[in-house]
Amino acid sequence: MQKLILIKYGELTTKKGNRNQFINKLNDNIKKIIDAKIIKKRDRMYILTDNIDLVSKKLTKIFGLQGIVIAYQVNNNIDEIKESILKILKEVSFKTFKVETKRANKDFSIKSMDFNNIIGSFILKNFVCTVDVHNPDITIHIEIREETYIYLNEIKGSGGYPVGIQGKGLLMLSGGIDSPVAGYLALKRGIDIDCLYFDSPPHTSLEAKNKVIKLASILNEYSGNIRLLVVPFTKLQEQIYKNVPSEYNITILRRMMYRIATSIDKKYKVIINGENIGQVASQTLTSINVINSVTNFPIIRPVACLDKLEIINIAKKIGTYETSILPFEDCCTIFVPKHPVINPKLEKCLEYEQFEYQSLIEECINNIEVITNYTNNYNDLL
> What CATH code is carried by the domain that includes residue 84?
3.30.2130.30
Domain that holds residue 24: 2-156
Whichever domain contains 183, its CATH number is 3.40.50.620
Return d(Cα 284, Cα 279) in angstroms, integer: 8
Question: Which residue type does 212 have?
Answer: V
Is 59 in the same domain as 182? no
The verdict on 108 and 247 lying in the same domain is: no
- In the sheet that holds 369-371, the strands lie side by side as 299-300, 268-272, 168-172, 192-199, 228-232, 369-371
Same domain, 122 and 198: no
With respect to residue 161, please indicate whether it lies within any of the assigned structural domains. Answer: no
Are residues 15 and 79 both part of a single domain?
yes
Do residues 284 and 140 both lie within one domain? no
Q: Tell me: do 177 and 225 sit in the same domain.
A: yes
Domain end point (choices 130, 156, 182): 156
Are both 206 and 286 inside the same structural domain? yes
162 found inside a domain: no
Residue 17 in domain:
yes
| pLDDT value at residue 220 | 93
Check residue 224 and give its pLDDT.
Answer: 84
CA distances from 319 to 150, 176, 217, 235, 315 (A): 33, 13, 11, 33, 6
Residue 229 lies in a domain: yes
> Which residues contact residue 154 at a Cβ distance below 8 angstroms, ignoring those fewer than 6 apart?
8, 67, 68, 69, 141
Please tell me whether residue 231 adopts helix, strand or coil conformation. Answer: strand
H or E, element range at 100: strand 96-103
Count of domains for the chain: 2
Q: How many CB atoms lie within 10 A of CB 166?
A: 17
Give a yes or no: residue 30 inside a domain.
yes
The per-residue pLDDT string of the chain (382 residues; one tens digit each, 9 = 90 and over) reads 899 999 999 776 666 678 889 999 999 999 988 889 999 988 899 999 999 999 999 999 999 999 999 999 999 999 999 999 999 999 999 999 999 999 999 999 999 999 999 999 999 999 999 999 999 999 999 999 999 999 999 999 999 999 999 999 999 999 899 999 999 999 999 999 999 999 999 988 899 999 999 999 999 999 888 999 999 999 999 999 999 999 999 999 999 999 999 999 889 999 999 999 988 878 899 999 999 999 999 999 999 999 999 999 999 999 999 999 998 777 666 667 778 889 999 999 999 999 999 999 999 999 999 999 876 555 555 5
Instruction: Look at residues 136, 156, 176 and tell me which one is the last residue of a structural domain.
Output: 156
Examine the domain organization and report whether 182 and 130 are in the same domain: no
pTM over 0.75? The answer is yes
Considering the domain architecture, whether residues 217 and 335 belong to the same structural domain is answered as: yes
Domain boundary among 156, 187, 216: 156
- Same-domain status, 111 and 236: no
Residue 85 within any structural domain of the chain: yes
| Residue 172 DSSP code | E
